[in-house]
Structure 1
């Protein structure tokens, strides 16, 4: 114990001040896309043709962040004349429709259910379900327990049993082999229960969209209350979504 205290004293205070202050993210991080609606139509079409996720709507000049894997192809193809990915990590929404962005700021989980805030504002217990993911989303959820993010300071914790949970956090494209386990986990969570979709795979199937082996999106199986897009979502995106929705 003394060695732990000594180590902590030497390291000093490491926890970020978010949400009071937005910490800087890595310069190459791709967050909310900024869209130039006045871009050359041929450039927009070229971006749509090159998009591996078919996430660009040419007619409405917008990007589906739920389908997008933030690979940056459209930014490179357009040479930033149509799409520029910003460092804005605050992109979680409580509505699937709000993930369709034309460059304006999305409704940042503003339409959260107020009774959820009343019920879970002081204590929120989460059960994470990896439904066939590659472990990237899971890894970025795990780091929320580190001293820098310190999720527990907000009264939010991950628990081992769904019977002790208030919400399930789903990652991965929900493979056919994981669907039954996911539904059983959901049924084991006491009501009122919350469903959180983390990552493009969970929201729309990600790179596996259209495969008969995965669901076409978590919403086709369960009612989703919070969407956190990304591939994987930045830990701060996860933290932002949880705080805006529940706190």
Structure 2
């Protein structure tokens, strides 16, 4: 059996088979391949979730290997990544930046505060209960905060979504109404912290087991108050 050389020094012979000399594809596949291979994100980080996105761009995870190069202007970006709490004061700037991005454009919501308002969704007078009330969102990344692995998984899912798009259906798939709202069902409940733990008997008088364990005389609150005076 003769072993053929994989990379011979001489010029290879041109095959006469037509299928080996041409690459057959469609405009949709070529267009989508170029889009998903060079996503230029615009960072909109307002809180602690954005720290995990910075970790995703570090040398360990290296988000740039997916062709994601951060841009400083929305006119050069096609992906907006929102991370952190969106307040009423931030909302007009967020919408303005989104409208300045060229089509086609995509949005990723990263973290609980961006998706639902997070811990500020109950009693905050200024937090927006979800960025999808302002702009359309393509991919949600839940977590508080999400891990860099979750960010990479979201990028892969967005690339799959872009790969299945069609130029002919792009205009039909655009949203005509970008605002989405849900009714928040809130109710008044009793406070969980009523201050009773400050007046507990163990706090006023230390238990004898603690005195025996430490070997030191422990005084109660009244005795310490007299000594301090």
TM category (shorter chain) comes to: 0.5 to 0.7
Structure showing greater relative contact order (alpha-carbon pairs closer than 8 Å, 6 or more residues apart): 1
Unaligned runs of 5+ in 2: 1-28, 161-229
Q: What secondary structure, in the 3-state scheme, does the structure 1 residue paired with 2:40 have? A: strand
Matching residue within 48, 58, 67 for 1:146: 58
TM-score by length of 2: 0.54
Q: 1:117 to 1:243 in 2, by over 3 A?
A: farther
- Once residues 143 and 32 of structure 2 are traced to their aligned partners in structure 1, the CA distance between those partners, rounded to angstroms, is 25
Unpaired segments of 5 or more residues in structure 1? Answer: 1-113
Aligned length: 131
Q: What is the aligned partner in structure 1 of residue 44 from structure 2?
A: 129
Among 73, 78, 92, the alignment partner of 1:166 is 78
- The equivalences for 1:228-243 within 5 A come to 228-243=141-156
Report the Cα distance in structure 1 between the residues aligned to 2:144 and 2:31, rounded to whole angstroms: 27
Q: Given the alignment of the two structures, is residue 220 of structure 1 paired with residue 133 of structure 2, yes or no?
A: yes
Mapped to 1, the partners of 2:95 and 2:85 lie a distance apart of 14
Answer with 1 or 2: which has the greater Rg.
Answer: 2
Instruction: After TM superposition, give the deviation of residue 244 of structure 1 in Å.
Output: 2.2
The structure whose residues are more often strand, as a share, is: 1
TM-score, length-normalised on structure 1?
Answer: 0.50
C-alpha distance in 1 between matches for 2:58 and 2:83: 20
Task: Describe the SS at the equivalent of 2:135.
Answer: coil
Structure 1 residue 149: deviation in Å? Answer: 0.8
> In 2, distance between residues paired with 1:181 and 1:124?
22
- The answer for the alignment partner of 1:199 in structure 2 is 111
